[in-house]
Structure 1
């Protein structure tokens, strides 16, 4: 079975037992605005109800996986009444993706930054092109990670190293991310070939047993992830009010290094 479903900002392709969801905003390096968030949730929920699909691949069109949340949307929408609904969209996306009763893979080329990296961490397996860059870089604009990143980073790295990655906010090469334990594989050659090899390997296994293990762990961890998403939502609201955040945004627009004062 091959199905192609294309919307303005999110594409869905189904080929046999594999679905590929592609963020389709290459002109913004696949930055995620509300339409993208809702489109991703919609496609994931459709897939969750399809018994024929066992594997879901997340990717981005063009030169990047996802550069994260859409900064322009953030700047044009300073009305705090609209902030919580956006954060709720992010939480719904992450919970839907993490709990999806399918095996999930993030195929990363180019940048996976901020919320884009958080989303990748919510999948079961991250395979990255050797030239890709990954960053939990919220701190550069005076914010904290969201999209459940505190949960996922602690699970993968432990508390001490997770805090260091968050506080450093550095852009990591694929090899550096692999060495830290943030991703599972670096494609030595063509990313698509490496992805197909991983998919074919999984398809040769008892995928329903693999999915059952995933569901047990997701159900066990669900309360903690929900709590982290809630803490991130209210924590991010506080950070948006800080002088440092406003300075970080100005510096980003002006393409200069920010001068933070700790307030």
Structure 2
């Protein structure tokens, strides 16, 4: 890989690539640059036949705190909003459909869009001190990044719906108990390497073919959900409750929602 990125670091070890989100000062908040560069890096890896396993991780104290709210607040109008959502939808589709075995190695926070991205991976490992939240409800929005798709895929519609509505912050053990994630780890590096070693004892090409069959079956559903999420987010951004949620977030207080 010849590309040099501002917000992404890609490392190679034999047939495994590790893709690191590299905005640690913002807890790897997903701004337009990081979203674009992640998508480019992952699409390039998708075409690299030498790579069989891809690990996603965050530099510093978090996997990703979610979408960059500061940048989102600066969006001026419908065209800009739909442009950034198109980039998000492309990135999530790339993660979910890439013909590789994927691991999300979650350290610290994985919130909002950051959690959606983690759940798009085939195997999710969380450090025992991690915190996970599908917390869009707190600012009067619906999940994006295929959050509805990935939660339903992992825990079913009813549990997914309740989790989205609650917006509860989960610790790693709580997330594992309800099967949102696959493993809780004390030592993240060891856990990731153990999973890679386990996969390498199996016929990985056959495993990838099985993944490709499932993604072919489900890709249209993901596309539909991403479109519905985008339109719902735009609709909710026009509401009083969203404006109140953002204001309360900035002012660090509890929002006073009115259902309008």
Which TM-score applies when normalising by structure 1?
Answer: 0.97
Q: Matched residues in 1 for 2:209 and 2:79: separation? A: 39
In the alignment, which of 239, 242, 246 is matched to residue 243 of structure 2? 246
Q: Give the deviation of 1:5 after TM superposition.
A: 6.3
Q: Give the deviation of 1:6 after TM superposition.
A: 4.8
Q: Matched residues in 2 for 1:197 and 1:121: separation? A: 20
In the alignment, which of 199, 202, 205 is matched to residue 199 of structure 2? 202
RMSD, aligned CA: 1.1
Structure 2 residue runs of 5 or longer lacking an equivalent are none
Partner of 1:141: 139
Q: Matched residues in 2 for 1:152 and 1:238: separation? A: 22
Contact 1:4 1:14 in 2 (8 A): no
Structure 1 residue runs of 5 or longer lacking an equivalent are none
Q: Matched residues in 1 for 2:200 and 2:38: separation? A: 24
Partner of 1:175: 173
Contact 1:6 1:12 in 2 (8 A): no
Does the residue aligned with 1:65 lie in a helix, a strand or coil? Answer: strand
Partner of 1:220: 217
| Structure 1 outlier segments of 4+, above 3 Å | 3-6
Q: How many matched pairs?
A: 260
Q: Give the deviation of 1:81 after TM superposition.
A: 1.6
Contact 1:54 1:103 in 2 (8 A): yes
Partner of 2:164: 166
Q: Give the deviation of 1:78 after TM superposition.
A: 3.3
Q: Give the deviation of 1:75 after TM superposition.
A: 1.1
1:153 is the counterpart of 2:151: yes
Q: Matched residues in 1 for 2:190 and 2:2: separation? A: 21
Partner of 1:76: 74
Q: Give the deviation of 1:34 after TM superposition.
A: 0.8
Contact 1:5 1:11 in 2 (8 A): no
Q: 1:249 to 1:217 in 2, by over 3 A?
A: same
Q: Matched residues in 2 for 1:194 and 1:105: separation? A: 11
Q: Matched residues in 2 for 1:50 and 1:223: separation? A: 24
Partner of 2:259: 262
Instruction: Kindly provide the CA deviation profile for residues 137-192 of structure 1, in whole angstroms up to 9, marking residues without a partner as x.
Output: 000010000101111111111111110000000100000000011000001x2111
Partner of 2:127: 129
Q: Matched residues in 1 for 2:3 and 2:167: separation? A: 36
